[in-house]
Amino acid sequence: MLNILVGGFYGDEGKGKMASYLSLKDSPHIAIRTGSINAGHTVCYNNNKWKIRIIPSAFVNKSTKLMLGPGALTSIAELIKELKETNSEDRFFMDYHVGIITEKEIYEERNDENLMKSVGSTGQGVGYAEAKRILRILKLAKDYPELSKYTIDVPNTLIEEIEKGSEILAEGTQGTYLSLYHGEYPYVTSRNTTSSGILSEIGIGPKYVKDIIIVFKSFVTRVGNGPLEGELNEEEAEKLGLIEIATVTGRKRRVAPFNIKLAKKAIQLNTATQVAITKLDALFKDAYKVREYEKLPSEAKKWIEDLEDQLKVPITLIGTGEDAMDTIDLRKEKLGE
């Protein structure tokens, strides 16, 4: 059984929080990440906070094996750093075909005026590495002896485990509207960030998918250039307490109210079967750290119920605080799980 976690807006939706919660609650046998080091995920659990860029956020469950799919890209330095910080080296595996970013790609990207100034790249070398991969000149994990202790055939391993009945959690990167194909080109990333792209990057066909959980924050944020409908100025965002700082770049995120039109389209593009909402407490301060639906303030419950009516997909997970366990889980009530 494979469950996919995908971002519904422009990234920064709280996928790391939801992935860490699901790992602790469901104990998947394997958690696999796609994407690259240009997207950061923040994980908070038991008064600890980690800012990670490449390993799965499910590392908080020490019984879960962690993997990188063949479509992923990483730098060796960032990978080793995160494995040490999270004490995950003994349960981490990566596919032979994971692309490796070096200082050369980072330098080339940071000196590309179009990417850095016009598009608003994070400057992590990901776009240049992807381009080299297409040109068949990028080196892969199998080319680096120091990575040999981690490398395996990831798609084969995943399929074997799924066919045994194991649960797999696939954690996507960034968000739907940063997709190279479905986002607002050219203000996009260098890969397809939708659920179909996640499947492609991990090497699994759609028949193994059980659920696709799309994550929306209670408001929309975006880092870098590109359209943002209903964008609030910094003073308005500050007044509402919605200012955030990006994990990788340290830039302030641009802010806009929840966009129902974008949410509906993202659900369609990803064929989402469940919706997760994060940062409900940003809109409704009395929802902070509430872990039972009935204890939410009435206006927060009304907001959730009205949103679910419009999206026509069950809202099963609601984040109410930073900690992974600050989550209201309605899957049993709504899905019988």
The answer to whether 226 is a known ligand-binding residue is: no
Q: Is 172 among the annotated ligand-binding positions?
A: no
Q: Would you say 122 is a known binding-site residue?
A: yes
120 among the known binding-site residues?
no
What DSSP assignment string belongs to 93-120?
Answer: EEETT-EEE-HHHHHHHHT-HIIIIII-
Report the alpha-carbon distance of residue 116 to residue 118 in Å, rounded.
Answer: 6
Q: What are phi and psi of 241, to 5 degrees?
A: 75, 30
* Residue 38 annotated as part of some ligand binding site: yes
Q: Identify the DSSP state of 24.
A: H
Annotated catalytic residue within 41, 95, 97, 323:
41
Q: Is 136 marked as binding a ligand?
A: yes
Length of the chain: 337
Residue 91 annotated in ligand binding: no
Amino acid at 294: E
29 is catalytic: no
Among the options 12, 95, 323, 326, which is catalytic? 12
Tell me: is residue 193 an annotated ligand-binding position.
no
CA angle 330–334–337, rounded 5-degree value:
80
161 is in an annotated binding site: no
Residue 19, marked binder: no
Q: Has 8 been labeled as part of a binding site? A: no
Dump the DSSP string for 43-56.
EEETTEEEEESSS-
Query: How many C-alpha atoms does 195 have within 13 Å on its Cβ side?
Result: 26
Rounded distance between C-alpha atoms, residue 187 and residue 119, angstroms? 5
Element (H, E) at 4: strand 2-7
Has 264 been labeled as part of a binding site? Answer: no
Query: Is 247 marked within a binding site?
Result: yes
d(Cα 39, Cα 297) in Å, to the nearest integer?
33
In the residue annotation, 182 being an active-site residue is answered as no
Instruction: Give the residue carrying structure tokens 């038991």.
Output: 46
The binding site for substrate comprises: 247-253
The binding site for IMP comprises: 12-15, 38-41, 122, 136, 174, 189, 251
The binding site for Mg(2+) comprises: 12, 40
The binding site comprises: 11-17, 38-42, 122, 136, 174, 189, 247-253, 279-281, 319-321
- Would you please indicate which residues are annotated as catalytic (active-site) residues? 12, 41
The binding site for GTP comprises: 11-17, 40-42, 253, 279-281, 319-321
